[in-house]
Structure 1
Amino acid sequence: MDDVTPLLTAVDRLADRLRTLPQSRLRQGAAAEGLALARELSLRAQRLEKPGAPPRIMPDVGMFAVADQLAVAGHDLVHALERAPDNGAGELAEAVTLVTETAERCGA
C-alpha cells in the first residue's frame, strides 16, 4: 500500500479550511463542493469495502457539518484503502487529486 499520508493531509487541511470559512462563502458553493467530495469519497470507500453492495448516499445535514462529513469520509476511505485486497490500485492518487481540485475550487 502506498503511503496514505498525502490523502489524510489533504482531507484534513480542506476540512479545517471549510470549518473556518464564513457562512457567506459556504453558501456561495464551498459547502456544496465539500458535500459532493464527501459523498464521492464515501462511495469509493463503500465500493472497496463491499463491492457490489448498493451504495449509501451521505445525507445533507447542513453547511456547518460538511467539514466533519468530509473528514469522516476521507478517513473512512483511508481505512478502506489500507484493507483493500489489491491495495486500492490507483484509488489513492485519484482521491488526492479529487481533494486537491475541490480545495482549489473552494479557494482553500
Structure 2
Amino acid sequence: MRDTSELSAAVERFADRLRAAPQSRLQRGAAAEGLALARELARRAQRIEEPGATERVMPDAGVFTVADQLVVAGNDLAEVLRTAPDGALEGDLGEAVDLVREATRRAGL
C-alpha cells in the first residue's frame, strides 16, 4: 500500500480555500476550477476501479457544494491509489497531486 496523504492533504487545502472564498470569487471561476478538478479525479478513480465502464460525470450541484464534491472525489481516488498493488499506477499519485496544485493556482486560491 502506498502513502496517499499528500494527495489527501492537497485536496483538503483546496477544499478549505473554496469554503472560505467569497461567493463572488467562486462565481468568477474558483468553483468551476474545483468542479473540473473533482470531475477529473472522479474520472481517474472510475477508470481504475471499473475499466471500460461507462463514465459517470459528477453533476454541477452549485458553487457552495464544490468543496464537498472535491473532497469526495479526492478521497475516492486516494483510496483507490492507496490500495493498488505495489508497482501499479506509479505515476498516477504524483499526477493527481500536480493536478490539485495546478487547479488551486488557476482558481487564485
TM interval, short-chain normalised: over 0.9
Distance in structure 2 (CA, Å) of the matches to 1:28 and 1:66 = 14
- In structure 1, stretches of 5+ residues that fail to align are none
Give the match for residue 13 of structure 1: 13
Give the match for residue 89 of structure 1: 90
SS for the counterpart of 2:53 is coil
For residue 89 of structure 1, report the CA deviation from its aligned partner: 2.1
Q: Which amino acid aligns with 1:93?
A: G
- Percent identical residues: 61
Q: Which amino acid aligns with 1:6?
A: E
What TM-score, normalized to structure 1? 0.95
Give the match for residue 51 of structure 2: 51
Cα deviation digits, residues 55-94 of structure 1 (max 9, x gap): 1000001010000000000000011112234532211000
Distance in structure 1 (CA, Å) of the matches to 2:54 and 2:91 = 22
Maintained 8 Å contact 1:19/1:67: yes
Maintained 8 Å contact 2:3/2:82: no
Maintained 8 Å contact 2:39/2:57: yes
Pairing 1:104–2:105 present: yes
Maintained 8 Å contact 1:10/1:99: yes
Distance in structure 1 (CA, Å) of the matches to 2:55 and 2:42 = 9
- In structure 2, stretches of 5+ residues that fail to align are none
What TM-score, normalized to structure 2? 0.94
For residue 38 of structure 1, report the CA deviation from its aligned partner: 0.1
For residue 106 of structure 1, report the CA deviation from its aligned partner: 1.4
Distance in structure 2 (CA, Å) of the matches to 1:22 and 1:48 = 35
